[in-house]
Amino acid sequence: MKLTHLLAITAASLTAVQAAPLTFDFKDPKGVNNVVFKLDAPLESINGTANGVSGTVTVDPENPGAATGKIVVTTASLTVPNPLMQEHLLGENWLNAKTNPEITFEIKKISDVEKDGTKGEADVTGIFTLNGVSKEITVDAKVTYLPGKLADRTGGKMEGDLLVIRSEFDINRSDYNIQPGQNTDKVAEEIEISLSIAGAAPKK
């Protein structure tokens, strides 16, 4: 969600170094990239994670506001600690992972970019698709550009840069046709989502 913001920051940071757009790949073989989701419920809140993250973001350092990209989360990678809840979550009545295998966010616009060295923050507007329903949302994203840090992550096997994006936002499950108006006494309407992902741009 905060990819746009990250892009803007990265772009600004990179301006002095290189002018060509950089494409950051968010498929992480280490499985560190993750999305945390939380829904309030009477006995205990339902906390889960998803680590099937992929997608790319391309940033032109000279024009960060024109960044483009899409982040994809595999629906089947959503995990909760209780096996019955897991079954329900991915089943027909909730996210229907078989019919809707991906949750996506596609960047449309970046605004209110604030930059502080290699860190930055921006409002990212994009199309968020969940359970087969697409809606335009705007989220706040914090971005950290880590030039030359890809080598540290790959044990020196690859040279390049990293872009870390963090974002927290809420959605209503009814907006995405997830049991609209049902079971509100058992599971909250609001879903808290927290995204922490790092993309790599290897040097060619």
Point out which residues bind other proteins (CB under 8 A): 30-34, 36, 43-44, 47, 49, 51, 79, 81-83, 85, 144, 146, 149, 152-153, 162, 164, 166, 196-198
Q: What are phi and psi of 175, to 5 degrees?
A: -60, -20
In sign, the C-alpha dihedral spanning 139, 67, 7, 63 is negative
CB of 136 vs other proteins, minimal distance in Å: 27
Closest to other proteins by CB, 140 or 175: 140
Shortest CA distance to 190 belongs to which of 204, 172, 202? 172
Supply 160's token pair.
Answer: 């390049």
Least Å from the CB of residue 169 to other proteins: 17
Nearest to other proteins of 165, 176 (CB atom): 165
Smallest distance, other proteins to C-beta of residue 84, A? 8
Which residue number, 83 or 181, has a Cβ lying nearer to other proteins? Answer: 83
**Residue 163 or 171 with smaller CB distance to other proteins:** 163
Residues paired with 32 in a beta bridge: none
Given the complex with other proteins, which of 105 and 176 has the nearer CB atom?
105
What the block records as the tokens of 54 is 């992929």
Give the HSE-up count for residue 91: Cα atoms under 13 Å, Cβ half-sphere: 9
Return the beta strands (E) in 26-101 as ranges: 34-39, 46-50, 53-59, 68-74, 78-79
Nearest to 197 by CA among 8, 7, 53: 53
Closest contact distance (angstroms) between CB of 177 and other proteins is 25
Pairing mode of beta strands 78-79, 46-50: antiparallel
As measured in angstroms, the least distance from the Cβ of 8 to other proteins is: 18
Give the DSSP letter of residue 136.
Answer: E
Least Cβ distance, residue 160 to other proteins (angstroms): 12
Task: Give 51 or 104: the residue with its C-beta nearer to other proteins.
Answer: 51
